[in-house]
């Protein structure tokens, strides 16, 4: 899936001269975590997070009176706290690439730029939502894991067994087993009504199936 399909396009933008008080009000009213700062030509020049606002709001509190603090915050603008070195991505970026960029740079949002124009924003929350959809979480399905050898044709074999039992695969994710070289986890979901049937069929077909956490994977590892 590409970022352009899931990005937020109804953008909340502010000018660099927006006061901290106003920025805080907008964040609370719109129930968002990021404000995009643009110039008069609608070019992106900064990014302000809810965390930035909260930190700046609290920083002078111990040294000033309430009156002095309120005056300072009414004069302080987002330009003074906004992040100016912004990492952006085009709408053709894959969601997994966007997730990697956010993880590597320890950021929670990426503005999306197309033809030098601000067209959207994607956040870690959006990425998590896509992940949950991809693995079929919460749709009343049965989940299990098959440990298999990393070899050509193994996915086809697992799929064939389920096909022969007229069992539809709702989601399918592969993950390497970190502590076991050449072993992969096939994390699968089928309809709740087909769960037991699928597990039995795969077990009869010679595959090791896990339905819960086990401390020792040795009995479940494929023979290689």
Q: What is the dihedral of CA 106, 112, 113, 114, to 10 degrees?
A: 140
* Predicted pLDDT of residue 209: 93
Query: For the chain, what is the domain count?
Result: 2
Digit-coded pLDDT (tens) for 23-39: 999 999 999 999 999 99
Least confident of 52-56, 95-99, 147-151, 179-183: 52-56
Q: Final residue of a domain: which of 82, 112, 131?
A: 131
Tell whether 114 and 144 lie within a shared domain: no
Tell whether 126 and 176 lie within a shared domain: no
Digit-coded pLDDT (tens) for 141-189: 899 999 999 999 999 999 999 999 999 998 888 989 888 889 999 999 9
Q: Final residue of a domain: which of 131, 159, 176?
A: 131
Tell whether 118 and 179 lie within a shared domain: no
Q: CA triplet 79, 45, 105: central angle to 5 degrees?
A: 95
* Predicted pLDDT of residue 32: 92
Q: In this predicted model, which residue has the larger pLDDT, 138 or 28?
A: 28
* Predicted pLDDT of residue 68: 61
Tell whether 71 and 182 lie within a shared domain: no
Tell whether 124 and 187 lie within a shared domain: no
Please compute the mean of the pLDDT values over residues 179-205 and round it to a whole number: 93
* Predicted pLDDT of residue 92: 96
Tell whether 140 and 113 lie within a shared domain: no
Please give the mean pLDDT across all residues of the chain.
89
* Predicted pLDDT of residue 217: 86
Q: Final residue of a domain: which of 104, 131, 158?
A: 131
Query: Residue 211 maps to which CATH number?
Result: 3.30.70.260
* Predicted pLDDT of residue 70: 65
Tell whether 175 and 115 lie within a shared domain: no
Tell whether 199 and 96 lie within a shared domain: no
Least confident of 14-18, 69-73, 94-98: 69-73
Please compute the mean of the pLDDT values over residues 10-21 and round it to a whole number: 93
Containing structural domain, residue 148: 136-220
Tell whether 20 and 118 lie within a shared domain: yes
Query: Residue 20 maps to which CATH number?
Result: 3.10.580.10
Is residue 198 over pLDDT 90?
Answer: yes
């Amino acid at each position: 899936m590409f970022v352009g399909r899931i990005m937020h396009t109804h953008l909340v933008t502010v000018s660099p001269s927006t006061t901290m008080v106003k920025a805080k009000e907008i964040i609370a009213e719109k129930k968002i975590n990021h404000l995009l700062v643009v110039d008069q030509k609608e070019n992106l020049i900064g990014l302000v997070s809810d965390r930035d606002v909260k930190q700046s709001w609290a920083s002078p509190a111990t040294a000033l009176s309430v009156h002095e603090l309120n005056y300072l915050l009414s004069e302080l603008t987002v330009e003074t706290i906004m992040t100016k070195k912004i990492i952006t991505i085009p709408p053709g970026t894959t969601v997994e690439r966007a997730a990697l960029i956010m993880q590597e740079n320890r950021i929670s949002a990426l503005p999306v730029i197309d033809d030098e124009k601000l067209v959207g924003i994607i956040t870690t929350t959006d990425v998590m939502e896509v992940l949950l959809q991809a693995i079929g979480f919460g749709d009343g399905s049965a989940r299990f894991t098959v440990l298999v050898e990393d070899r050509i044709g193994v996915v086809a074999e697992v799929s064939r067994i389920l096909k022969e039992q007229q069992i539809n695969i709702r989601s399918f994710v592969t993950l390497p087993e970190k502590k076991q070289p050449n072993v992969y986890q096939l994390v699968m979901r089928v309809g709740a009504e087909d769960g037991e049937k699928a597990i039995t069929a795969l077990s009869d077909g010679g595959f090791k199936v896990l339905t819960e956490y086990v401390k020792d994977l040795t009995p479940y590892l494929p023979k290689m």
